[in-house]
Structure 1
């Protein structure tokens, strides 16, 4: 007569291991908690997580670039507004009825506007970085490349148009200033157009990065996230199997004891 029941004990052990695995999955809401659960799936999920994190940082970088470009463009708009006022004064200085006193008043007002322009150039910055003091390019990594935003030495560009030395003391000076101011307006307008194009480019890149993150997150979720309905059903089945295995093991022990009693 066979006194041991290894089959029932093995079934009980397997049922308990399955219960522990299912409980862990239900607790973490993850189908894959270790390489033992799905080695290939874990590797793919880890690669996706790395890519998602890189794109998330890249998106933050791009939005920093957008913020910087907007500050840059707003600074240019401030300069443009002051140039517009200078243009008005230059037109006013061409009025033949103005005498020396009136032209001196116009010049004083013009000097204030040029001081405003210089102040804007000196004080426009982002994160402590001045934006109008030199020609250059600022790069913003996306995780799979980079985007660049070009900055310009605005003071040098305006100095080339003699904006900071306009003279409204005479009709001839006012006429010359008018031409210089118009060229400066065209120059600043071109820089604003470039900044606007960069903002649009950065916004498109940020939207693309966000879309890629959503798609990759969905793919990772399908690989590693738990199907609660199925896991709950499997847990019920495992509980039934465990209870049955316990009953079989107890019955085996009773039969073993009865057999020993008979032999005694």
Structure 2
């Protein structure tokens, strides 16, 4: 059995008679006690701890700690406890010393003192039993480790993707709004390409009709020449041959002109009901289309421009002049219509570009990442991850203090 000596004298063994009557050093019937090994404490002069029966490494640790043990590990023996004189018998195989806390007095077991010294939750220090099966401190530290990892993962995901909303869990309402805007934006971009295709189609038709215009002008010049009676029959015959060749070429041009797989100057796409409709919006409404009609050049060549015989006279050529003037007017009107449609396409493209710009800006404000904010969260997550890992490692080691209790004789 071990005891504590605190009054400058040596400690004495405790006997069973101590239960009935305290042993006094002044009693004449008590023989002088034999010396007991003690370890001095830093609490003050004359304070020492009986270490008889303790393992040497534990006695050395207790003597080394004293009042210099920091609060971060649970405070030292002398800083939280004041060892006072007195002797109590051993209980349950543990050495018992009489100590008083700075907050509350009374005897506590040496196991409680050791638990407090090594920062463990014990019955004497924290009101909870010492356990090796359940490490509450480690569980708490692990929860904080998981939370720190989540912060780090979220910030890394946002920084790497550049988006604040990567899943619906990030912002369900914001995700719905962003996807709706994305639909409008993508539809508007395709509408721009549709309008550009429409411009290509109209430009092709206008270029071909420009050539037809020139050919009709040449036919008119020949008709004016043939109407002059200074030309004989032979000369008028040659003029008629050239005019008929031009007429056939106009018909051939109308038959072979093709844009995007469609023959636009034939017998189709002439009436409004048969017009080509170009989608220039992202929604399914009639206001989102432009109808484009063309002129039937084949019909002009075969039906409207009359054949001039080689023996034609002045009257025949004058009739040809009037006929050609009418067809020139038809071509001019068709080209004017195509020009207005082309201008409309260009204005539509400008409007759609502004729409796409505004939609992109709005979508970015909703789902794009704030790099400065996410970078600060990333650094916070790194710091929390490192500190929580360090504390988890400390918490995992804490139950090893139980081995010190088991090693006490």
TM-score normalized by the length of structure 2:
0.60
Which of 235, 238, 260 does residue 127 from structure 1 map onto? Answer: 260
Return the structure number with greater relative CO, CA threshold 8 A, min gap 6. Answer: 1
Q: How do 1:1-264 residues align onto structure 2 when only pairs under 5 Å count? A: 1=121, 4-5=136-137, 6-132=139-265, 133-134=267-268, 135=270, 136-142=274-280, 143-144=282-283, 145-157=288-300, 162-166=304-308, 169-258=312-401, 260-264=402-406
Deviation for aligned residue 1:262: 4.3
Superposition CA RMSD, Å: 1.9
Contact 2:248 2:301 in 1 (8 A): no
Deviation for aligned residue 1:118: 0.9
Change in Cα spacing, 1:263 to 1:253, as seen in structure 2 (3 Å) is same
Structure number having the greater helix percentage: 1
C-alpha distance in 2, partners of 1:155/1:16?
Answer: 75
SS of alignment partner, residue 130 of structure 1: coil
Contact 2:202 2:342 in 1 (8 A): yes
Contact 1:121 1:154 in 2 (8 A): yes
Deviations 1:182-231 (A, max 9, x none): 11111110010001111111221122222212221222122222222221
Question: Any gaps of 5 or more consecutive residues in structure 2?
Answer: 1-120, 122-127, 129-134
My pick for the range that moved more, 103-112 or 207-216, is: 207-216
Deviations 1:54-75 (A, max 9, x none): 2222222222111111111112
Deviation for aligned residue 1:149: 0.6
Choose 1 or 2 for highest CA Rg: 2
C-alpha distance in 2, partners of 1:94/1:22?
Answer: 88
SS of alignment partner, residue 125 of structure 1: coil
Deviation for aligned residue 1:152: 3.2
Contact 2:251 2:301 in 1 (8 A): no
C-alpha distance in 2, partners of 1:102/1:33?
Answer: 82
C-alpha distance in 1, partners of 2:349/2:359?
Answer: 15
Deviation for aligned residue 1:89: 0.5
C-alpha distance in 1, partners of 2:297/2:156?
Answer: 65
Question: Any gaps of 5 or more consecutive residues in structure 1?
Answer: none
C-alpha distance in 2, partners of 1:117/1:154?
Answer: 7
Deviation for aligned residue 1:157: 4.9
Contact 1:167 1:177 in 2 (8 A): no
Contact 1:167 1:174 in 2 (8 A): no
SS of alignment partner, residue 231 of structure 2: coil
Deviations 1:13-44 (A, max 9, x none): 10011111222222222211101111111111
